[in-house]
Amino acid sequence: MLTDYLQKAMRKARYEILENGTYYGEIPGFQGVFADADSLEACREQLQEVLEGWILLGLRLGHKLPTVDGIDLEIHKEAA
């Protein structure tokens, strides 16, 4: 499920070439998830690393993460 979530989120990524020739990428709906690098591939790789860290931190802190194509990573606590 996590792999699907990452892949589907990355498919929503948007990239642009900046005036200085570097690449900038972000994922709409994922506040603070962005990257910039000298090549498109490096930008994509960096963006995925940022996304992975963002998800882990969000889960650890109990944040509500965006649902992506029907995949919800919210942790549901079982009643004792």
pTM of the model: 0.88
pLDDT digits (tens, 9 = 90+) for 18-60: 999 999 999 999 999 999 999 999 999 999 999 999 999 999 9
Using CA atoms, how far residue 57 sits from 16, 46, 61, in Å, is 27, 17, 6
Provide the domain limits for residue 53.
2-61
Structurally, the chain folds into a number of domains equal to 1
The structure tokens listed for 71 are: 């995949």
Predicted pLDDT of residue 77: 66
Task: Indicate the pLDDT class of residue 76, thresholds 50, 70 and 90.
Answer: low
Predicted pLDDT of residue 39: 98
- Tell me whether residue 75 is in a domain: no
Predicted pLDDT of residue 78: 65
- Tell me whether residue 79 is in a domain: no
Predicted pLDDT of residue 43: 98
In angstroms, rounded to a whole number, what is the distance separating the alpha carbons of residues 73 and 7? 14
